[in-house]
């Protein structure tokens, strides 16, 4: 049924646990070779969706095709063609890097010369060839994470699911990790990734925001930032930010946040109120010298959409 | 007098020099963000300043107390939230707070009022009777913070308090920190999130046990090499292979739907980049100059520090 350039297609995908609807009629497509970011607060249904797409859990309603395979009809056919790396990646700390790869390679049915060749290739890709005989426990966090990625791609999956792969890893290691993802995507591996880091979300080709199991926004990061902010963000630079925050909150502005010495307000229809804000800050003795509209960050948009979703449900 | 002052502070574990000659000054009322790659010494620094780990050498004064000679005097004045803090999972939110109130010997008469205020502050009032084990990740962190605040400390030491927490909960956590900042509490926080570092009044970058840069986030951001151009084009992969041949090229960073290109002078490079890409038949959708983010500067400074290291 599926066109070859579509790696994942979900149609009204739904999963209930008793009365609780964890995933609520999700419909989306992921193109082959795309890096697709799947974002949502904790408990929004991300992991449940991944479990269904991996063929580990049957949907209550709706359907999905993964690499053309119907997840309800042939879930066991999916495992060999996809890779999966979870938040708590399960490497054996008391095995060497090489031994961990052998273990996972055999589990995927690789043997002999083929296993050796693939191990060499993935170690080369992540830059760990020199240290393949080190104990995994002695590798730094960023290396362990790249090794877990190597283990997940040993069997050359066409589609890779990464569930918060970089939680707790520093920015330099995260950037190295993403360079690897781009290399994989360039070779037409499709990547389906969840993350809580908005800077990483910006590295995805396309994003989906989900909240309470429902899709609330989808598109390239820049399009989402331009089109999905339900209001404006105002940045204020002033001499007395503390006085400024107090005055703005007393005046009833909802989302007033301090960024170092700058103040950000995110609220509906702020653009026509700049003069009013300036006046208010003067009166409060905050001594503002800049009051301007700034483009929202992806985080601003994400939070505004989730809060709006909370109000309407 | 500074809230925190250290001079040549050192601590090793076996052969690993976790913190080496750290000299750090933090003003009262600051929100000081400690950033750096894994293993830079952030956690060891916080543990020494909290008085739970003895330095090998150097001096450290926290709220005018010597952490080596007089760690006990500190306890009542600081709130410390380690990375792995312990809540009692089978006790309710309220009982956890009552327990901490007893440890800190808060007089009975004050306990109820203070706990009610902290519950409201951390937006946990409606969950007072829920067992801590049944809270979401973000709520656990807020409860951990509330427990660290039970004795009204003047200084908070927070070790990556928002790890693994989603963006909405992180923003709520930071709104609480902003309120504490407005009340005059000094905060020292370590974080792997650069967007959080942007919410600090001062940021210190640690590398291999030392502080290699310190400043306001707006100033540190400008340490990214050169000026930044943002390029949107239909063929990013091709742009990525072409750009290193562009005469003004310093470095670039790929994003999902655009490239960030660093050049020495944006005004000079922009028209030349247009004709360069035109010559290679690569249509530009959008091209503009933007301010680099703190992350760009962070990565640049760490890579530079790694190159300067003796092999």
pLDDT beyond 70 at B310:
no
B81/B63 Cα distance (integer angstroms) = 17
Would residue B172 count as lying in a domain? yes
Longest CA span, chain B: 78
Residues 197-216 of B with CB under 8 A from A: 198-201, 216
Structural domain including B93 reads: 4-12+26-216
pTM score of the predicted model: 0.88
Which residues have C-beta within 8 Å of that of residue B4, sequence separation ≥ 6? B24, B25, B26, B32, B49, B60, B61, B62, B63, B155, B186, B188
Q: Which of A35, A170, A303 sits opposite B37 (nearest CB)?
A: A170
- ipTM, 2 decimals? 0.81
Q: Are residues B246 and B158 located together in one domain of the fold?
A: no
- If pLDDT is split at 50, 70 and 90, which confidence band does B309 have? low
B257 CA: distance to closest CA in chain A (Å): 6
A56/A59 Cα distance (integer angstroms) = 10
Would residue B19 count as lying in a domain? no
Q: Please give chain A's pLDDT, 313 residues, in tens.
A: 456 799 999 999 999 999 999 999 999 999 999 999 999 988 899 999 999 999 999 999 999 999 999 999 998 899 889 999 987 667 899 999 999 999 999 988 899 999 999 999 999 999 999 999 999 998 888 889 999 999 999 999 999 999 988 877 888 888 889 999 999 999 999 999 999 888 889 999 999 999 999 999 999 999 999 899 988 999 999 999 889 998 999 999 888 988 888 899 998 889 999 999 999 999 999 999 899 999 898 988 998 888 887 776 5
Q: Are residues B79 and B160 located together in one domain of the fold?
A: yes
How many interface pairs between A and B have CB atoms less than 8 angstroms apart?
Answer: 120
Would residue B307 count as lying in a domain? no
Q: Are residues B199 and B247 located together in one domain of the fold?
A: no
Residues of chain A positioned with their CB less than 8 A from the CB of B298: 171-172
Is residue B227 within 8 Å of B266, Cβ to Cβ? yes
Q: Does the beta-carbon distance from A42 to B302 stay under 8 Å?
A: no
Would residue B310 count as lying in a domain? no
Q: Does the beta-carbon distance from A35 to B201 stay under 8 Å?
A: no
Is residue B63 within 8 Å of B74, Cβ to Cβ? yes
From the list B212, B180, B187, the residue with the least C-alpha distance to B202 is B187
Q: Are residues B67 and B210 located together in one domain of the fold?
A: yes
Q: Which of A182, A198, A258 sits opposite B254 (nearest CB)?
A: A182
Q: Which residues pair with B25 in a beta bridge?
A: B5
Would residue B234 count as lying in a domain? yes
Q: Which residue of A has its CA nearest to B174?
A: A257
Q: Are residues B177 and B241 located together in one domain of the fold?
A: no
**Sheet with B65-66, side-by-side order of all strands:** B16-26, B4-13, B57-62, B65-66
Residues of chain B positioned with their CB less than 8 A from the CB of A198: 167, 195
Q: Does the beta-carbon distance from B256 to A37 stay under 8 Å?
A: yes
Kindly tell me the burial class for residue A60, based on how many C-beta atoms sit within 10 Å of its own C-beta (0-12, 13-18, 19 or more): middle
Would residue B199 count as lying in a domain? yes
Residues of chain A positioned with their CB less than 8 A from the CB of B302: 172
Would residue B43 count as lying in a domain? yes
Kindly tell me the burial class for residue B182, based on how many C-beta atoms sit within 10 Å of its own C-beta (0-12, 13-18, 19 or more): middle
Overall size of chain B counted in residues? 311
CATH number, domain with residue B237: 3.30.70.270
Domain count, chain B: 2
pLDDT beyond 70 at B29:
yes
Q: Are residues B175 and B136 located together in one domain of the fold?
A: yes
Would residue B73 count as lying in a domain? yes
Distant-in-sequence contacts of B8-17, Cβ < 8 A, 24+ apart: B8/B57, B8/B58, B8/B59, B9/B45, B9/B48, B9/B55, B9/B57, B9/B58, B9/B59, B9/B60, B10/B55, B10/B56, B10/B57, B10/B58, B10/B209, B11/B44, B11/B48, B11/B53, B11/B54, B11/B55, B11/B56, B12/B56, B17/B208, B17/B209
Residues of chain A positioned with their CB less than 8 A from the CB of B137: 42
Q: Are residues B207 and B237 located together in one domain of the fold?
A: no
CATH number, domain with residue B147: 3.40.50.300
- What are A132's two structure tokens? 């393949």
B157-182 pLDDT tens trace: 999 999 878 888 898 899 899 989 98
Q: Does the beta-carbon distance from A202 to B255 stay under 8 Å?
A: yes
Question: Domains in chain A and their CATH numbers?
Answer: 6-226 (3.40.50.300), 230-295 (3.30.70.980)
């Amino acid at each position: 049924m599926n066109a070859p350039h579509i790696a994942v297609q979900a149609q009204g995908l739904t999963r209930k646990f008793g009365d609780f609807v964890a995933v609520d009629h999700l419909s989306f497509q992921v193109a082959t070779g795309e890096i697709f970011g799947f974002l949502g607060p904790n408990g929004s249904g991300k992991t449940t969706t991944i479990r269904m797409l991996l063929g580990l859990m049957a949907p209550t309603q709706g359907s999905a095709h993964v690499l053309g395979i119907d997840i309800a009809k042939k879930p066991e056919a999916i495992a060999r063609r996809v890779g999966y790396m979870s938040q708590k990646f399960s490497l054996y700390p008391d095995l060497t890097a090489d031994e961990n790869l052998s273990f996972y390679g055999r589990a995927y049915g690789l043997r002999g010369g083929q296993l050796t060749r693939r191990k060499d290739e993935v170690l080369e890709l992540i830059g760990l060839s020199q240290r393949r005989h080190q104990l995994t426990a002695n590798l730094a966090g960023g290396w362990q994470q790249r090794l877990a990625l190597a283990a997940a791609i040993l069997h050359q999956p066409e589609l890779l699911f990464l569930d918060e792969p970089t939680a707790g890893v520093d920015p330099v290691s995260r950037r190295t990790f993403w360079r690897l993802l781009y290399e994989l995507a360039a070779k037409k591996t499709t990547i389906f990734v969840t993350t809580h880091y908005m800077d990483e979300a910006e590295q995805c080709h396309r994003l989906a925001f989900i909240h309470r199991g429902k899709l609330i926004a989808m598109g390239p990061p820049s399009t989402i930032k331009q089109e999905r902010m339900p209001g404006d963000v105002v940045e204020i630079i002033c001499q007395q930010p503390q006085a400024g925050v107090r005055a703005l909150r007393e005046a009833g502005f909802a989302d007033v946040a301090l960024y170092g010495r700058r103040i950000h307000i995110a609220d509906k229809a702020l653009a026509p109120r700049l003069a009013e804000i300036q006046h208010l800050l003067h009166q409060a003795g905050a001594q503002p010298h800049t009051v301007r509209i700034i483009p929202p960050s992806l985080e601003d948009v994400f939070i505004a959409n989730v809060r709006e979703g909370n109000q309407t449900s | 007098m500074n809230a925190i002052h250290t001079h040549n502070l050192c601590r090793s574990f076996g052969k690993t020099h976790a913190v080496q000659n750290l000299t750090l000054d933090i003003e009262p009322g600051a929100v000081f963000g400690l950033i750096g790659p894994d293993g830079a010494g952030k956690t060891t620094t916080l543990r020494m300043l909290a008085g739970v780990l003895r330095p090998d050498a150097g001096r450290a004064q926290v709220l005018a107390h010597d952490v080596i000679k007089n760690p006990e005097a500190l306890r009542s004045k600081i709130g410390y939230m380690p990375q792995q803090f312990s809540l009692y999972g089978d006790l309710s939110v309220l009982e956890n707070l009552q327990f901490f109130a007893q440890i800190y010997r808060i007089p009975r008469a004050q306990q109820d009022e203070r706990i009610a205020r902290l519950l409201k502050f951390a937006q946990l009032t409606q969950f007072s009777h829920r067992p801590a084990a049944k809270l979401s990740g973000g709520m656990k962190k807020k409860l951990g913070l509330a427990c660290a605040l039970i004795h009204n400390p003047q200084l908070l030491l927070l070790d990556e308090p928002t790890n693994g927490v989603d963006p909405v909960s992180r923003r709520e956590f930071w709104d609480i920190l902003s309120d504490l900042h407005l009340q005059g509490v000094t905060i020292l926080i370590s974080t792997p999130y650069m967007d959080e570092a942007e919410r600090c009044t001062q940021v210190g970058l640690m590398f291999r046990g030392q502080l290699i840069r310190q400043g306001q986030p707006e100033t540190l951001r400008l340490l990214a090499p050169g000026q930044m151009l943002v390029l949107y084009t239909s063929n990013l992969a091709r742009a990525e292979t072409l750009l290193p041949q562009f005469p003004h090229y310093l470095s670039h960073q790929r994003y999902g739907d655009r490239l960030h290109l660093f050049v020495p002078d944006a005004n000079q490079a922009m028209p030349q980049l247009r004709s360069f890409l035109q010559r290679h038949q690569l249509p530009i959708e959008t091209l503009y100059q933007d301010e680099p983010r703190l992350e760009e500067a962070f990565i640049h400074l760490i890579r530079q520090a790694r190159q300067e290291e003796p092999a």
